[in-house]
A = this chain, B = another copy of it.
């Protein structure tokens, strides 16, 4: 993503997948699409390895914007399915990005 000027909010979502697949990829794609429509959305980055462990970091203008995204109805439904079916474990960390450097991702 094009990087904004700090400070801004990062939500670090760490997870390990179960082997249940029904609807996962479609929901993940839809959540990216839906997040991008929310106020204060700055970007999202995601990676998952062959071992089922994944990291998704979404970036927001403020902690209030990130909190509002958590409460979007369609997202709440996805979170419940995630907990029930798709994730063997997860952790969510809300952080303030203070500074950054690098050439960016081409």
Interface residues, chain A, with chain B CB atoms under 8 Å away = 3, 6, 10, 12, 14-16, 45-49, 53-55, 57, 63, 88-106
Contacts and interface: CB of A to CB of B under 8 A. Distances in A.
B100 A15 contact: no
Copies of chain A in the complex: 2
B97 A94 contact: yes
Secondary structure of the A side of the interface?
Answer: strand
A98 B105 contact: no
A98 B48 CA distance: 24
Contacts of A94: 97-100
A100 B91 contact: yes
Given A47-B48, A53-B47, A54-B47, A95 B92 contact: no
